[in-house]
């Protein structure tokens, strides 16, 4: 097994650059950290290499490099490195196809986006479409908060206006979300093919996009709370639309 | 209006210490940051003082201190300070009373806990009970992620084993949560008085506590996803129990 002991080794230096979006986009590679994520990536064809602090952590089928603690600390995203880092190639860009879509307009928080992707996987969403202002899909905090779900989810960055128009032409029902004054979720008849539209944490959905929705729904609550967290609201609606809340 | 320009001013030094739990517990005070949180705190009796970078941000009814950017940067929790910091006194400890309870066993992530408190407020929970190993309720990340809901929510740190026994004696139905093999949520008849028990992000609920539950429920999903985020799962169940998903 190849060993690297120096933090100034050229490979380590080039991998370190993958902490920045600019270099990820250039090399079309990204880093992931931790056994759980590396395992999830290993079930896809995207895992290219692993760097391990301990020989026993070697992963079969890919190149393994044994590194020192100093190297691991340099590449790690966290204060307490887990001892394994994977190098992955960018996902193939999926096509706009399927029956159930999640459309995200300017979701900014990596944790919220990760949680939404996790729920989308569990509630049968075929494709997640994000506009260009949403979090980078190779951001480490985002990937961590998907808990590996990202490796089983199709993600597409695209203009949401064009996407919605295309989906509507294809007969997909576009469901906007709001805080009140629309169709309460329990009155919504889950369409067979739908696209659920969620907006920014503070501003909500861009009114121009909302205006394109076939229906607008909201989750009734008492009047003490202004709004639910966007990942929570989206997950409740996805769960409802999946039919899993019906007897 | 009083002005403080030096980061080594004794008051600033003592407020800075409130970043640490130890000093918060000693002085029974904590800091909050941002207009939204200060406003929420201002509607309670807990807001004692505000530090502002701009005279126009003065808050009525409490002591205002004008501070320099350097002082603001020192006290701030974020990289881009919002220009207003509030000093609050600890909440009064609530009693174990009410009809709807959220019991949290070892929820570790401040963001998850904050999101749960936010949902609990919207879905009519009367009291949130956390065991001693859960996140500190004066942690700044936790408070920020409640988006102010913490100032309208009753929170109690207590032994969950004793709490569950007491609630059961009082006729409250304790609902445990699991990933499968129990009562699917849609088959659950929402009790009038209930306590929803949620567990740690990785380990779930302590089996000893789960064994005390009157019912155990789960959210059905496809088999692609191992588990939902704990704040999402808890919020879906709270939403269901609130009756807001019924026609």
Q: What per-residue confidence (pLDDT) applies to A173?
A: 98
Interface of B with A (CB under 8 A): 111, 115, 118-119, 121-124, 145, 147, 149, 152, 184-187, 219-222, 224-229, 231-232, 235-236, 239-240, 242, 244-247
Number of A–B residue contacts, CB under 8 Å: 102
Write out chain B residues lying below 8 Å of A229, CB-based. 115, 118-119, 145, 147, 231, 235
- Please give the Cα distance from B168 to A127 (Å, whole number): 44
Q: Give the count of alpha carbons within 13 A of A208, CB side only.
A: 6
Q: What is the pLDDT along chain A (247 residues), one digit of tens a residue?
A: 999 999 999 999 999 999 999 999 999 999 999 999 999 999 999 999 999 999 999 999 999 999 999 999 999 998 888 999 999 999 999 999 999 999 999 999 999 999 999 999 999 999 999 999 889 999 999 999 999 999 999 999 999 999 999 999 999 999 999 987 789 999 999 999 999 999 998 888 999 999 999 999 999 999 999 899 999 999 999 999 999 887 6
Give pTM, 2 decimals. Answer: 0.95
Which residues on chain A place their C-beta less than 8 Å from a C-beta of chain B? 111, 115, 118-119, 121-124, 145, 147, 149, 152, 184-187, 219-222, 224-229, 231-232, 235-236, 239-240, 242, 244-247
Distance from CA of B211 to the nearest CA of A (A): 25
Does the domain spanning A100-241 belong to CATH 2.60.40.1150? no
Question: Where along chain B do its domains lie?
Answer: 2-89, 100-241
Euclidean distance between CA atoms A87 and A63, whole angstroms: 10
Report residue A17 as tokens: 């650059």
Cα A145 to Cα A77: distance, rounded to the nearest angstrom: 13
- The C-alpha atoms of residue B68 and residue A134 are separated, in whole angstroms, by 34
Q: Which of A36, A144, A239 to mutate to test the interface with B (most CBs of B within 10 A)?
A: A239
Q: For residue A7, give how far its alpha carbon lies from the nearest alpha carbon of chain B (Å).
A: 28
Thinking of the domain B2-89, which architecture would CATH place it in? 2-Layer Sandwich (3.30)
- pLDDT score of A247: 64
A180-200 confidence digits (pLDDT tens) = 778 999 999 999 999 999 999
Q: Which two tokens stand for residue A106?
A: 């300017």
Tokens of B217: 């429920």
Nearest to B111 among A111, A224, A226 (CB): A111
Block mean pLDDT (10 aa), chain B, length 247: 95 97 97 96 95 95 96 92 95 96 95 97 98 93 96 97 98 93 91 96 91 96 93 97 84
Q: What SS3 string covers chain B?
A: CEEECCCCCHHHHHHHHHHCHHHHHHHCEEEEECHHHHHHHHCCCCEEEEEECCHHHCCCCCEEEEECHHHHHHHCCCCCCCCEEEEEECCCCCCCCCCEEEEECCCCCHHHHHHHHHHHHHCCCCEEEECCCCCCCCCHHHHHHCCCHHHHCCEEECCHHHHHHHHHHCCCEEEEECCCCCEEHHHCCCCCCEEEEECECCCECCHHHHCCCCEEEECCCCCCCCCCCHHHHHHHHHHHHCCCCCC
């Amino acid at each position: 097994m190849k060993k690297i002991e120096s933090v100034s080794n050229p490979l380590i230096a080039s991998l370190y650059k993958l902490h920045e979006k600019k270099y990820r986009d250039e090399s079309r590679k990204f880093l992931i950290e931790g056994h759980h994520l590396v395992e999830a990536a290993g079930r896809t064809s995207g895992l290219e290499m692993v760097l391990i602090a301990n020989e026993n952590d070697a992963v079969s089928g890919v190149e393994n490099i044994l590194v020192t603690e100093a190297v691991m600390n340099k590449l790690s995203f966290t204060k307490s490195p887990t001892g394994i880092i994977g190098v992955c190639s960018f996902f193939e860009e999926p096509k706009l196809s399927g029956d159930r879509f999640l459309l995200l307009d300017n979701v900014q928080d990596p944790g919220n986006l990760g949680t939404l992707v996790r729920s989308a996987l569990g509630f049968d969403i075929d494709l997640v479409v994000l506009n260009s202002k949403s979090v980078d899909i190779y951001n480490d905090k985002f990937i961590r908060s998907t808990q590996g779900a990202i490796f089983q989810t199709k993600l597409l960055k695209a203009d949401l206006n064009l996407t919605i128009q295309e989906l509507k032409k294809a007969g997909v029902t576009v469901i906007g979300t709001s805080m009140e004054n629309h169709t309460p979720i329990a009155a919504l008849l889950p369409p067979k093919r739908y696209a659920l539209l969620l907006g920014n944490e503070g501003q909500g959905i861009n009114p121009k996009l909302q205006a394109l929705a076939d229906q607008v729904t909201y989750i009734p609550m008492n009047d003490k709370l202004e709004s639910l967290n966007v990942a929570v609201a989206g997950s409740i609606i996805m769960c409802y639309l999946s039919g899993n809340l019906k007897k």
